[in-house]
């Protein structure tokens, strides 16, 4: 990932961290205890799934979106990591 894209993601994560709770267009709830951080980068649309666990924001999974719909395998990865966190 390019330096500019990493910087954009870092700024969005910082906004999320210091501005929580935030809503659209930066963050959107996906499921129970699961949100997505929505970042626009030069190579497309980046999504980072996260949760709030013990008053901390935990980033679970990130990817660059290639289609309109969120791929089910990306969502499954985030949910699997969320379940591991809860154990």
Q: Which of 7, 6, 5, 35 is nearest to 23 (CA)?
A: 35
pLDDT in tens, 19-75: 999 999 999 999 999 999 999 999 899 999 999 999 999 999 999 998 889 999 999
Q: What is the per-residue pLDDT for 43?
A: 85
Query: Is 49:36 a contact under the CB 8 Å cutoff?
Result: yes
Q: What is the per-residue pLDDT for 77?
A: 98
Decide: pTM greater than 0.85: yes
């Amino acid at each position: 990932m390019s330096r500019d894209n990493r910087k954009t993601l870092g700024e969005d994560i910082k906004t999320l961290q210091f501005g929580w709770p935030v809503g659209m267009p930066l963050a959107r709830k996906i499921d129970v205890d699961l949100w997505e951080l929505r970042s626009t980068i030069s190579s497309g649309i980046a999504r980072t799934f996260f949760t709030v666990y013990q008053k901390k924001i935990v980033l679970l999974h990130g990817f660059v979106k290639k289609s309109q719909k969120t791929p089910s395998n990306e969502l499954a990865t985030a949910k699997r990591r969320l379940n591991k966190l809860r154990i």
